[in-house]
A and B are shown apart, each in its own frame.
Chain A
Amino acid sequence: MTTEDKKGEKSEWGTGWKVFAALVVLSALEIAVTLTIANPLPFLTPLVLAKAGLIIWYFMRLGNLADKEATE
């Protein structure tokens, strides 16, 4: 494993942590909305979509569909 590999891994790992932190914040907001609003569905929907979007874009890397970095 080269130094460049280590740097790249560390940088991507940092992005993973940031996305996870955003997911935690959004989850906390979901619970707060449920506890404070009588009909929370309209407020929950954008929060849920934001969480799903973060996972799909950053963890599932939808944007890298055409990358040619790995083969098997």
Chain B
Amino acid sequence: MSTTTVHHHHQSEGNYSKLTTDRVGLWLFLLSESMLFLGLLSARFYLAGTFRPPELNQALGVGITSILLVSSLTMFRSEVAIRHGDQSSFLRHLLITIVLSILFLGGVAYEWSQAFTHFSPNTVFGTIFFSMTGMHALHVLSGIFLMLLIYRNGRSGKYSEHNHWSVEATAKYWHMVDVVWVFFYAALYLV
């Protein structure tokens, strides 16, 4: 390889900042995650069509969906705050998001306890319902873990307006969890 070729090679690498590479990597990860959820969504319609048991707790469905939507707003607020160097608002809204996400998980746990008595996981709809909500709840749990991690780091002043990639990545992950629920809620409770 000649000196000119090496120089051009390094120059083209320099066109992409580390942050851009990180962002593209995260989006690719989220895209690969969405394939898993898309598989579950298509299984719902393939196996059970648009069947929906009347025992589904609609009020609880609306309740936990509302909680998750509000948590996306507070997570957005938290990220906006750190992007502008507002430490107290960043931590306050992150903490509210964590509380809301725990409430959501509590709601799903209650829904599961009710659902077990109405439709067994051995039935077609039961299999779909527990697989979809279970896989989603697992992602909510990992989101809570990530948020607790950045809350701890945030309290020790690790993030600033110039240095907050972890917060941005966690926020994007949390919003992805919300997007998945937008589809799952409609597929399980509304069709």
Contacts and interface: CB of A to CB of B under 8 A. Distances in A.
B69 A24 contact: yes
Interface string A28-72: 001101100001110010011001100110111110011111111
Interface stretch (B95-103, B105-113, B133-141, B156-164): B156-164
Nearest to A9: B84
16 contacts: A5-B85, A5-B86, A6-B84, A9-B81, A40-B190, A52-B179, A55-B182, A60-B176, A65-B20, A66-B20, A70-B161, A70-B162, A71-B162, A71-B163, A72-B163, A72-B166
Contacts of B145: none
Q: Is the interface of A mostly helix, strand, loop or mixed?
A: helix
Given A34-B190, A52-B183, A70-B168, A12 B175 contact: no
Nearest to A66: B20
Contact of B80 (A9, A27, A34, A56): A9
Given A52-B179, A71-B18, A31 B62 contact: yes
A16 B73 contact: yes
B47 interface: no
Interface size class of B (residues with CB under 8 A): 35 or more
A6 B89 CA distance: 12
Given A13-B77, A44-B186, A70 B163 contact: yes
Contacts of A62: 27
A12 B27 CA distance: 22
A52 B182 contact: yes
Given A59-B178, A71-B162, 18 more contacts: A9-B80, A12-B80, A16-B77, A20-B70, A23-B69, A33-B190, A40-B190, A40-B191, A55-B175, A55-B178, A59-B75, A61-B172, A65-B23, A65-B24, A65-B27, A66-B23, A70-B163, A71-B163
